[in-house]
């Protein structure tokens, strides 16, 4: 699933192509991939409107159109938004084609979990899933004190807490495992056991790992591509994710692979405690 660095990379690469362009036509190949607003169809709402900018909230893209309409895109597991400078024959798993003044935007999704929702811009936070999201981990307002406050008095594992989008927006399996390794904290530590110094380390690790992921344009193990169809390179820097059974790059001990919070989790029991 695209996480914060991947979605941010999609946002940046897509904005380069589509800013200020008008949506001239929308073809729905699989209509369930989109949601209209109340009794108005998705294509009826979005056709003829101009793309003003694209923002991101957690793992969601917010394609802001003129006349106060926003398209909220969630990639889920395998969703992609790709820009093509010229008309392109839709691929097998392409579900929506946006024909623009210049070029096309294709939304594809092998697993069919992704969705694009049209919603009035003034309501895009209060009347959508965005209202439940926790703070953005790379914003200056996200401090160690805010992280501690978001954990509250929960008695859950760190892995579960960091995957919870209502605690912190944008992180998934990859960047949670990597952040915990950098912070030297075990994924099965309870959040209420963290000292002030450990909380500070975790806050710093989260921001450093996410920024490194953005700088590398994301992680491309399987489906993820940016808006140009290009892969990221952060998988070359991974310390633990996907490396269960291999030696720790810090101490050489075999990395453990366990099931935690419903997700495969990899960590070093020597470096992380």
Task: Give the active site residues.
Answer: 2-3, 59, 263
**The two structure tokens encoding residue 117:** 């929702």
Strands (E), the chain: 23-28, 34-35, 51-57, 60-65, 69-74, 79-84, 94-100, 104-109, 115-120, 256-260, 263-267
Phi/psi of residue 185, each to 5°? -115, 135
**Are the C-beta atoms of 37 and 45 separated by less than 8 Å?**
yes
Give one DSSP letter per residue of 46-66, joined into a string: HTT-BEEEEEEETTEEEEEET
Phi-psi sector, 83: left (phi>0), alpha (psi -120 to 50), beta:
beta
**The two structure tokens encoding residue 31:** 């209509």
Phi-psi sector, 113: left (phi>0), alpha (psi -120 to 50), beta:
alpha
Rounded Cα gap, residues 142 and 20, in angstroms: 31
Rounded Cα gap, residues 21 and 51, in angstroms: 6
Task: Count the neighbouring beta carbons within 10 Å of the beta carbon of residue 229.
Answer: 12
Q: In terms of residues, how long is the chain?
A: 273
**Are the C-beta atoms of 139 and 58 separated by less than 8 Å?**
no
């Amino acid at each position: 699933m695209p996480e914060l660095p991947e979605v941010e990379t999609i946002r940046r690469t897509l904005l380069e192509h589509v800013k200020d362009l008008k949506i001239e036509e929308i073809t729905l190949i699989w209509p369930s991939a989109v949601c209209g607003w109340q009794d108005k169809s998705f294509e009826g709402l979005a056709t003829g409107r101009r793309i003003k900018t694209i923002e991101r909230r957690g793992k969601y893209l917010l394609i802001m159109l003129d006349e106060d309409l926003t398209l909220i895109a969630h990639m889920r597991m395998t969703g992609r938004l790709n820009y093509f400078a010229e008309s392109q024959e839709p691929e097998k798993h392409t579900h929506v084609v946006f024909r623009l003044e210049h070029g096309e935007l294709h939304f594809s999704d092998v697993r069919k979990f992704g969705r694009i929702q049209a919603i009035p811009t003034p309501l895009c936070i209060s009347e959508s899933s965005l209202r439940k999201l926790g703070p953005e981990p790379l914003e200056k307002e996200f401090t160690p004190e805010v992280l501690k406050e978001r954990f509250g008095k929960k008695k859950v594992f760190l892995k579960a807490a960091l995957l919870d989008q209502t605690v912190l927006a944008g992180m998934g399996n990859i960047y949670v495992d990597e952040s915990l390794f950098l912070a030297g904290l075990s994924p099965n530590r309870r959040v209420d056991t963290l000292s002030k110094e450990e909380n500070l380390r975790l806050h710093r690790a989260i921001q450093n790992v996410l920024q490194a992921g953005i700088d590398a344009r994301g992680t491309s193990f399987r489906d993820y591509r940016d808006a140009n169809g290009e892969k990221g390179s952060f998988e070359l820097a991974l310390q633990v994710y996907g490396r269960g059974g291999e030696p720790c790059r810090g101490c050489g001990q075999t990395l453990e692979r366990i099931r935690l919070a419903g997700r495969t989790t990899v960590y070093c029991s020597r470096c992380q405690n």
